[in-house]
């Protein structure tokens, strides 16, 4: 069984991630986060917000609506260009994203190029393909009192989309923030939230799904200063990924995206790639979007997106540096990086060596024996003490102490605190370390 299978199994077994709508047999491309997954996901998002927003003087947060005026997606180019190459097997009618079932091609592949590769259908094994068709990945919906049978102008005017990215909610609020706060350039607007993409072939666990969370920054700069700010943001994200998320630097690779593979709005893009268990995949992107978005908004809305420099009085449309990262992709990178199988005293052990700032629980408190009231009572006192001080503390009195250690290792708890009979005499406890399995005696007041 591959390592990715091991991680998927651990996630369901220990309550990190469940298949979406699992009780009804699932729903492709959707995933639910369980009790431990919610904590880890929130810690990742809070860490990002603290690092890039609260820790800086040049960042402002926004939280835009998921449903936006359809003109948004015309201006951004999504209505015309947000499409993947769809190909259908004529034999079994299965549909796939062409560039994901053949090697050496990209999203702009033609039908002839695909046919020349003689790809066999992953489902039926035949080679009988229809032409490549562009499939727009935005989820279409209708807003207002529209019935399924309605057609014509009424139906057309009701069309809206679930946002495929959080970025446009930032751009549409650029003028609002400038008018209310008038920040000095350079400055950034940050947003975290849901995005929806109707993936043709959702796959690889939470790596490619149809509903995801994004963390994006649009960093507005003077046109002449974009390269300097691009480099600063590149270095910042290495620092965030390696120091805050604890990712091994050797697993992170930069890919300079060639012009033909860049998004329509980008003049330069670096993809931060990560060595996941299933291969090297994109973790996040850093793009120079020029003034593409603000200029298009000005054209579609008829409202100026120009900025007046406070010092020089110069008037111009700012350019934009955009770092964008998917929460689920980062979540899986953190788990993959932390997942270890080792051996302790001749016994196989699975352990998540999560950084302490991300571990769902910082401590697990246990009485050595759960049928001894004096131990349970004292353990409860220690639990309440640590809970009040640290917050993310759990209680476990199931099974023997060895099984408790294995469970806590598997969910990434850095320290286990055990109350035994000596505790009643000397008011000290045993603290066991997750990574080394070493144990030390510590006074309760020193915890």
3-state helix, strand, coil in the chain (%, to 5): 35, 30, 35
What Cα–Cα distance (Å) separates residue 232 from each residue in 109, 152, 186? Answer: 34, 51, 12
Burial 313-349 (b: 16+ CB within 10 A, else e): eeeebbbbbbbbbbbbbbbbbbbbbbbeeeeeeeeee
- Give residue 422's pLDDT: 93
The bridge status of strand 268-276 relative to strand 279-290 is: antiparallel
Instruction: Give alpha helix (H) positions in 240-320.
Output: 292-301
- Give residue 343's pLDDT: 86
- Give residue 2's pLDDT: 55
Q: How far apart are the C-alpha atoms of 166 and 150, rounded to whole Å?
A: 30
- Give residue 189's pLDDT: 98
User: What CATH class does 3-82+137-335 carry?
Assistant: alpha beta
Of 79, 154, 87, nearest in space to 122 by CA? 87
Tokens describing residue 244: 């805050």
How many CA atoms lie within 13 Å of 185's alpha carbon, on the beta-carbon side? 26
Tokens describing residue 15: 């309550």
**Entry pTM:** 0.91
Tokens describing residue 160: 């809206």
Query: CA 218: distance to chain centroid?
Result: 17
Other CB atoms within 10 A of residue 37 CB: 21
What residues contact residue 1 under an 8 Å CB cut-off, 6+ apart? 9
- Give residue 447's pLDDT: 87
- Give residue 304's pLDDT: 95
Q: How far apart are the C-alpha atoms of 247 and 233, rounded to whole Å?
A: 18
What Cα–Cα distance (Å) separates residue 15 from each residue in 12, 33, 38? Answer: 5, 8, 9
Burial degree of 102 (CB within 10 A; 0-12, 13-18, 19+): middle
Identical fold for domains 3-82+137-335 and 361-446, yes or no, is no
User: What CATH class does 361-446 carry?
Assistant: alpha beta
| Ranges of the chain with pLDDT below 70 | 1-2
Tokens describing residue 265: 């709005």
Would you list the domain boundaries of the chain? Answer: 3-82+137-335, 361-446
- Give residue 199's pLDDT: 87
Residue with tokens 């973790």: 283
- Give residue 144's pLDDT: 87
| Contact assessment for residue 219 and residue 293, using Cβ atoms and an 8 Å cutoff | no
Q: What are phi and psi of 96, to 5 degrees?
A: -140, 160
Other CB atoms within 10 A of residue 433 CB: 12
- Give residue 201's pLDDT: 81
Q: How far apart are the C-alpha atoms of 414 and 432, rounded to whole Å?
A: 8
What residues contact residue 333 under an 8 Å CB cut-off, 6+ apart? 245, 247, 251, 274, 276, 283
How many CA atoms lie within 13 Å of 349's alpha carbon, on the beta-carbon side? 24
pLDDT digits (tens, 9 = 90+) for 301-326: 999 999 999 889 999 999 999 999 99
What residues contact residue 335 under an 8 Å CB cut-off, 6+ apart? 7, 11, 16, 40, 352
Other CB atoms within 10 A of residue 400 CB: 10
| 266-272: Cβ within 8 A, 24+ apart | 268/230, 270/234, 272/237, 272/241
- Give residue 1's pLDDT: 39
């Amino acid at each position: 069984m591959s390592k990715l299978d091991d991680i998927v199994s651990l996630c369901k077994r220990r309550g990190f991630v469940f298949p979406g709508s699992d009780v009804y047999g699932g729903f492709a491309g959707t995933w639910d986060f369980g009790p431990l997954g919610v904590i880890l996901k929130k810690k990742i998002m809070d860490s990002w917000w603290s690092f890039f927003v609260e820790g800086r003087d040049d960042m402002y947060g926004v939280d835009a609506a998921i449903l936006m005026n359809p003109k948004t997606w015309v201006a951004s180019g999504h209505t015309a260009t947000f499409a993947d190459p769809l190909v259908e097997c004529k034999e079994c009618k299965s549909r796939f994203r062409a560039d994901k079932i053949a090697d050496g091609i990209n999203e702009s592949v033609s039908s002839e190029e695909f046919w020349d590769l003689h790809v066999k259908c992953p489902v039926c094994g035949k080679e009988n393909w229809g032409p490549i068709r562009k499939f727009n990945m935005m989820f279409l919906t209708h807003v207002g009192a529209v019935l399924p049978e309605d057609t014509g102008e009424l139906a057309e005017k009701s069309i809206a989309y679930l946002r495929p990215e959080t970025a446009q909610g930032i751009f549409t609020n650029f003028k609002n923030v400038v008018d209310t706060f008038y920040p000095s350039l350079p400055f950034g607007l940050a947003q975290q939230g849901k995005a929806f993409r109707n993936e043709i072939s959702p796959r690889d666990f939470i790596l490619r799904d149809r509903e995801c969370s994004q963390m994006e920054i649009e960093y507005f700069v003077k046109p002449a200063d974009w390269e300097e700010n691009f480099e600063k943001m590149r270095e910042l994200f290495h620092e965030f990924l390696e120091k805050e998320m604890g990712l091994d630097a050797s697993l992170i690779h930069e890919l300079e995206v060639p012009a033909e593979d860049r998004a329509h709005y980008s003049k330069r893009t670096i993809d931060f790639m990560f060595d996941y268990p299933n291969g090297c995949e994109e973790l996040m992107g850093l793009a120079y979007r020029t003034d593409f978005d603000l200029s298009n908004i000005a054209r579609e809305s008829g409202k100026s997106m120009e900025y007046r420099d406070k010092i020089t009085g110069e008037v111009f449309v700012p350019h934009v540096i955009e770092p964008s990262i998917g929460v689920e992709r980062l979540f899986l990178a953190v788990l993959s990086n932390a997942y270890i199988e080792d051996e302790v005293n001749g016994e196989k052990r699975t352990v998540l060596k999560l950084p302490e700032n991300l571990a769902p629980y910082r401590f697990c408190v246990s009485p050595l024996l759960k049928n001894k009231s004096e131990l349970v009572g004292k353990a409860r006192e220690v639990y309440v003490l640590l809970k009040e001080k640290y917050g993310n503390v759990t209680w476990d009195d199931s099974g023997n102490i060895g099984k408790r250690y294995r469970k806590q290792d598997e969910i990434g708890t850095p320290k286990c605190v055990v109350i035994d009979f000596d505790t009643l005499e000397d008011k000290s406890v045993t603290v066991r370390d997750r990574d080394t399995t070493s144990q030390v005696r510590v006074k309760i007041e020193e915890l």
